[in-house]
Amino acid sequence: MAAAAGAPGAAPVLTVEQARQRVMAGLPRVQERERLSIRHALGRVLADDVVSPIDVPAHDNSAMDGYALRAADLAGSGPTQLPVAGTALAGQPFHGSLPAGHCLRIMTGAMLPPGLDSVVPQEAVSVVDGRLVVPAGSVQAGQHVRLRGEDLARGRPALPSGRRLRSADLGLLASLGQAEVVVWRPLRVAVFSTGDELRGIGQPLDEGCIYDSNRHALLGLLQGLPVEALDLGMVRDDPAALEAVLLGAAAQADVILTSGGVSSGEADHTRALLARLGQVTFCSLAMRPGRPLAFGRIAHHGREALLFGLPGNPVASMVAFLVFVRDALLTIGGATAGPPVLLKARASGPMRKRPGRTEYQRGLLGCADGEPTVRLTGSQGSGILHSMSQADALVVLHHEQGDVAPGDWVDVMPLQGLL
């Protein structure tokens, strides 16, 4: 972001897209690699391309239980009768001689002997006195055969670097005989909340105080990412205490994630302190919820850590994380990341929206008349965390968009896999 960190005066007002571009521009990348067993690599980010060392499948094989034959042996009209020369099972190939004009009983996954090029399902044929009876037109050349290397050919890319490994990827790696993979080390992300009004779970809730919910929500959001979260607890609205925590976080973390203290309130000491400790820009976003945002770097003993200062209201903090922080963390951690996927749904009821800002309203997905629908969870105040707990999607109402009428199509961001 721009270098006018902590400067007095009003923060620049940015659209969501402008702020995303500034956050994503010039992000550093993690450099350290690790070699892991595939059993422990789920969700981690590949540091190198994986190239297939073998053909998958390793040989032509049957995709069905049935009979393998040569398509050229089939009669042009009427049924064809072929002697059954033997049986091939998965892992137990047929090794005998197969004369011309003969077929083979074969099971799914069994190796296809040389010369045979088609498989007819067992339910489409009959066997009479050891001879297969194939009705005319019941099999086409090459039918129900999985060819050698049709999934992956030897030497071809199997998985690209930057990919977050999913369960299917682990299965693919195992199919290639790969017991280990090289991945980027996880980012270390330090998290803390600021505010004299905050109390920890189990502490007495004094007058005017609230329990710290933001830190727990943010730590939960981090669990779905390839990061190591460092819980630094709560920090008072005290410049000395805040400085000590920030410097300690910069010494051990790649990224510092805070909530609260980024608006222009009297007790928000973050601005002046960050101007002295690093290069941080404070932005006022054309966005609801989540208007204030801080982003930049904290330096300590020649080491730098990125800092994201999120709003103090619970829903605003979570939405800002999903819109700005999540993709940045993935990118820094070596993953190929992009903006959240948006789907279309019809509004079940009216939605109020003021043009000139992007709004993220909490919604519940449904279906009516075969079309996806979305309805709001109720009051959309940025402090109403219960509405975020109920939601399974965010309704994204774009910058220039106005009020939404029932039945209008709107963009939605499904929250499954994000929260």
Residue 249 pLDDT greater than 60, yes or no: yes
Range 358-364 average pLDDT: 96
Strands 50-51 and 157-159: antiparallel
Q: Which of 242-256, 258-272, 290-304 has the highest mean pLDDT?
A: 242-256
User: What whole-number percentage of the chain has pLDDT above 90?
Assistant: 71
Q: Are residues 160 and 118 in the same domain?
A: no
Range 273-300 average pLDDT: 87
Domain boundary, last residue among 306, 332, 358? 332
Inside any domain, residue 398:
yes
* CATH code for the domain of 328: 3.40.980.10
Q: Are residues 217 and 307 in the same domain?
A: yes
Q: Are residues 142 and 155 in the same domain?
A: no
- Per residue in 34-55, pLDDT (tens digit) is 999 999 999 999 999 999 999 9
* CATH code for the domain of 121: 2.170.190.11
* CATH code for the domain of 391: 2.40.340.10
Domain boundary, last residue among 282, 306, 332? 332
Residue 26 banded pLDDT, cuts 50, 70, 90: confident
Q: Are residues 251 and 323 in the same domain?
A: yes
Residue 2 pLDDT greater than 50, yes or no: no
Range 136-163 average pLDDT: 93
* CATH code for the domain of 178: 3.90.105.10
- Per residue in 165-204, pLDDT (tens digit) is 999 999 999 999 999 999 999 999 999 998 888 898 989 8
Inside any domain, residue 337:
no
Domain boundary, last residue among 304, 332, 360? 332
Residue 270 pLDDT greater than 80, yes or no: no
376 touches 361 (CB < 8 A):
yes
Rg for the chain, CA atoms, rounded: 30
Residue 10 pLDDT greater than 60, yes or no: no
pTM of whole model > 0.75? yes
**What pLDDT does 303 receive?**
86
Per the structure, the count of domains in the chain is 4
Residue 19 pLDDT greater than 90, yes or no: yes
Inside any domain, residue 284:
yes
Strands (E), 46-173: 50-51, 61-62, 66-69, 80-88, 103-106, 118-121, 126-128, 131-134, 145-146, 157-159
Inside any domain, residue 195:
yes
Inside any domain, residue 85:
yes
Q: Evaluate the CA torsion angle 101, 102, 108, 109 in order and state its sign.
A: negative
Q: Are residues 41 and 66 in the same domain?
A: no
Residue 266 banded pLDDT, cuts 50, 70, 90: very low
- State the Cα–Cα distance between residues 288 and 323, nearest whole angstrom: 12
Q: Are residues 44 and 169 in the same domain?
A: yes
Tokens at residue 107, please? 């099971």
Q: Are residues 221 and 198 in the same domain?
A: yes
Residue 8 pLDDT greater than 70, yes or no: no
Residue 260 banded pLDDT, cuts 50, 70, 90: confident
- State the Cα–Cα distance between residues 260 and 371, nearest whole angstrom: 40
- State the Cα–Cα distance between residues 132 and 106, nearest whole angstrom: 12
Q: Are residues 208 and 312 in the same domain?
A: yes
User: What whole-number percentage of the chain has pLDDT above 70?
Assistant: 95
Q: Are residues 298 and 321 in the same domain?
A: yes
Inside any domain, residue 67:
yes
Q: Are residues 356 and 406 in the same domain?
A: yes
Inside any domain, residue 5:
no
Domain that holds residue 365: 343-414
Inside any domain, residue 139:
yes
- Per residue in 320-338, pLDDT (tens digit) is 999 999 999 999 999 987 7
Range 374-380 average pLDDT: 90
Residue 267 banded pLDDT, cuts 50, 70, 90: very low
Range 104-127 average pLDDT: 94
Q: Are residues 177 and 132 in the same domain?
A: no
Q: Are residues 180 and 191 in the same domain?
A: no
Candidate from 95-99, 259-263, 290-294 with smallest mean pLDDT: 259-263
Give the mean pLDDT of the chain. Answer: 90
Residue 5 pLDDT greater than 50, yes or no: no
